[in-house]
Structure 1
């Protein structure tokens, strides 16, 4: 596979993704956990949780599944029971990552649009409960994936690799599960994110127009409005995070619709063609890319995050300089 152009793309893409995504998400976790970026504790809790789940997606789906599969195809990771469990883990963590973004979007919607409810809902305790709930539900829902796979072949009584059972495409129960799985992630998150963002934007625009009218009446139209600027920064951060999620997951969703409507099978099926493989694998590549985008969004939209990142990058140089001076 490595000798083909597509194989070379995969062999290069996933290591680069891991090399960028792991340190980027680790940097987010370390920097935001210090609480020096001017964000509330509640927002910080959500953003750190998103970084943790994104990091786990990269470790489970990119490193242990894609990279190991490309470079070490005979690894024990591909014994069928372990392989099946790894898919349960990958799908569970992936769904948790998506739904943490959804509940973060809802938290910002409440904080901006419902000031009276903000003090009760937008707390670290509530965030912990909500994140724990969506991750728990995601884990339980995806446990059924363990029973979907069967061995591709058996060597010395050891089942190897995972291929989807043919009954997955013919059984009404499994078809219903597949629809529920895809609707819950990513269809429903898409709808909720777009809804909450639309309502948030409408509220912000209404508020900005009201404040500008008041400024005009008070002859303060040329003065800076800290409240308006704060809301503007909040909506930019929110839109970049949720917008990138939708764009990078869109091809994955279209692949599912194509497979079900055209009555085909997912990759590893007998009637799967090369073009279908390219479509599905491209969807996975973009979907996994979403797990390392957020750190760059923070760096591009949050000046204090950039400052802390620069300080962190300077620290090893400063430490080395101090050690050299000490040894002289």
Structure 2
């Protein structure tokens, strides 16, 4: 039986995602490490960690877990303990990517709405501690996913492939663990990002209105306010990153809720099953979120864009100089 339309799309979609996303995130890491974008060390730390997390998503979740089975089925990566670890690492990388977005949103919320607390909280040291804590917590909380699989078959006494144990769907303990995981990722991040953005926008709007009224009372004074303009520019990056997260994870959130409520079996082989279709589309959109941040940085930050263009063109400039010398 031939592949479904979604199956054919995935054959092209994921390789293109990796071909664009891996170089883009590596480029982001290099640009941020060079430190010439005019960003604070705190923001740079978050952007760097988010780029590295997205890079790991592209390598583990997409290259190893998605592309490899489609193009290279049957390898040592399909041994049950190995594919269990791969799934576990995939969940961890997605968790880190999601929660780093939440923490970046919260950091910008503090910086914009609580100027007095900003000096203490929005520092490179605090960002490093928080980022490290999130990664460690994610590694610990997701250990349970290492034990939900059993072999699909045994070949020459070697357990092969991973299928979810039937007890996962009937055990109250596993059901509680599932809802805990759904709550932590992506429901709570989804709500937090939306709430923090709403509060930040409200604060910016109110502050801008008050400052315009105060500055408007002076005669012959320019109404241009550099402080408000800088706040508006800084919020563009925040809203773009968190907004894209909400849009690209929306389908996945719906799928998680439907699975939990209906107790439908995960990873249905029947592609015509509505849960399978929602799951596939949700994963495809959620995977795209690991490639969008670089585009957002380039559009929202002029200095970042200039640095990126410089890095891309520098090999060609060097080659041209060498050719001229010859």
The answer to whether TM tops 0.5 is: yes
Cα offsets for 1:132-154 (capped at 9, x unmatched): 11111111111110000111111
2:219 & 2:154 partners in 1: Cα distance?
80
User: Which residue does 1:133 correspond to in 2?
Assistant: 133
User: Which residue does 1:53 correspond to in 2?
Assistant: 53
Instruction: Work out the number of aligned pairs and report it.
Output: 326
Closer/same/farther in 2, CA of residues 273 and 158 from structure 1, 3 Å limit = farther
Contact 2:4 2:271 in 1 (8 A): no
User: Which residue does 1:210 correspond to in 2?
Assistant: 210
Closer/same/farther in 2, CA of residues 122 and 23 from structure 1, 3 Å limit = same
In the TM superposition, 1:175-214 aligns within 5 A as 175-214=175-214
1:219 & 1:316 partners in 2: Cα distance?
54
Cα offsets for 1:2-25 (capped at 9, x unmatched): 754332211101000000100111
User: Which residue does 1:152 correspond to in 2?
Assistant: 152
Cα distance, 1:268 vs. partner?
4.3
In the TM superposition, 1:1-328 aligns within 5 A as 3-219=3-219, 222-268=222-268, 274-326=273-325, 328=326
Cα distance, 1:202 vs. partner?
1.5
Contact 1:2 1:8 in 2 (8 A): no
Cα offsets for 1:119-166 (capped at 9, x unmatched): 111000000000111111111111110000111111111111111111
1:258 & 1:316 partners in 2: Cα distance?
50
1:107 & 1:220 partners in 2: Cα distance?
38
Contact 1:95 1:185 in 2 (8 A): yes
SS at match of 1:227: helix
Cα offsets for 1:158-201 (capped at 9, x unmatched): 11111111111100000000000010001111111122112211
Which shows bigger deviation, 251-260 or 52-61?
251-260
1:111 & 1:4 partners in 2: Cα distance?
48
Closer/same/farther in 2, CA of residues 284 and 321 from structure 1, 3 Å limit = same
SS at match of 1:105: helix
1:272 & 1:171 partners in 2: Cα distance?
26
SS at match of 1:154: strand
1:320 & 1:123 partners in 2: Cα distance?
40
